[in-house]
Amino acid sequence: MQICARKQEVRDRVTGLRRQGQTVGLVPTMGFLHEGHLSLVREAARRTDRVIVSIFVNPTQFGPNEDLTTYPRDPEGDLAKLRAEGVDAVFMPDVEEMYGARGDTFVEVPGLSGVLQGALRPGHFRGVSTVVTKLFNIVQPDVAVFGEKDFQQLAIIRQMVRDLDMPLQVVGHPTVREEDGLAMSSRNVRLAPEHRAEAPALSRSLAAAAELAASRPDIAGLESAIRVVLAEAPGGKVESVDIRDAATLAPLTGKLDREAVVLLAVRFGPVLLIDQRVIAP
């Protein structure tokens, strides 16, 4: 497994693979890898000949009240896990390599970036879109795989790829969960023990929403039912419960009459957890 700290190194590696007629999959990450990330790697390996993983804690997607320095990191552990998965190369740039001393260009998908989590975290998705665009330009993969847990992020990246005619396929992969239903996330290790015990309320509320959806409830009633289950986690501050059109993320009103996505954001102390589930009547 080749470890690349420089853009040119990973470009040279991909050029060599192309000469061999190999297809390339990319899994962008911020490191501190868990089983959820590794499932993305396996999906990329299923779809392409060779897999490249990027590990980069991207500063441009952190807001002023979000501490970049406390984001968990385990580079040696990450590399050991990726070697075991048979990854071809890992791109691990530093901030200067990624952005340069005078980087001043950003990519944004305004219609999708300013709502939901984007409204709670201004500038976050501009940072995500920009760094993902850079990774696509550097690696030039055939396929890129992202987790569906970050549903809005996935929608933004797909829109960006369509609008900018980027020649790759964006694949969403189902959320991987702990045994108690909590969506796997690098943030979970920062939860206090009492908050970790309460956090599965998110997945329970989504399961309740999926069950209730069969009766074609009105959207307001569905949201109310979700909040009842979330109230079982008194240590969590519910920042948002959104029920949106699964295809467009447009708001829904009245009866549930189409496939929808439930998007949750709940804060436990300093840790913001998100989760999602697609539901249908």
| pLDDT in single tens digits along all 281 residues of the chain | 999 999 999 999 999 999 999 999 999 999 999 999 999 999 999 999 999 999 999 999 998 877 788 899 999 999 999 999 999 999 999 999 999 987 789 999 999 999 999 998 999 999 999 999 999 999 999 999 999 999 999 999 999 999 999 999 999 999 999 999 999 999 999 999 999 999 999 999 999 999 999 888 899 999 999 999 999 999 999 999 999 999 899 999 999 999 999 999 999 999 999 999 999 98
User: Which pairs with CB-CB distance under 8 Å and at least 24 residues apart come from 172-181?
Assistant: 172/145, 172/146, 172/147, 172/148, 173/39, 173/40, 173/43, 173/145, 173/146, 173/147, 173/148, 174/148, 175/36, 175/147, 175/148, 175/149, 175/275, 175/276, 176/35, 176/36, 176/39, 176/147, 177/203, 181/207
SS3 of residue 15 by DSSP: helix
Query: In the chain, which residues fall in CATH 3.30.1300.10?
Result: 186-276
Architecture of the domain made up of 2-173? 3-Layer(aba) Sandwich (3.40)
Please enumerate, by residue number, every residue annotated as part of a binding site.
30-37, 61, 147-150, 153, 176, 184-187
Q: Which CATH class is domain 186-276?
A: alpha beta
Half-sphere exposure of 234 (CA within 13 A, CB side): 0
| CA-CA-CA-CA torsion sign (34, 130, 141, 158) | positive
Domain with CATH 3.40.50.620 in the chain: 2-173
Residues annotated as part of the active site: 37
Binding-site sequence positions for beta-alanine: 61
Q: How far, rounded to the nearest angstrom, does the alpha carbon of residue 253 sit from its chain's CA centroid?
A: 27
* pTM summary value: 0.94
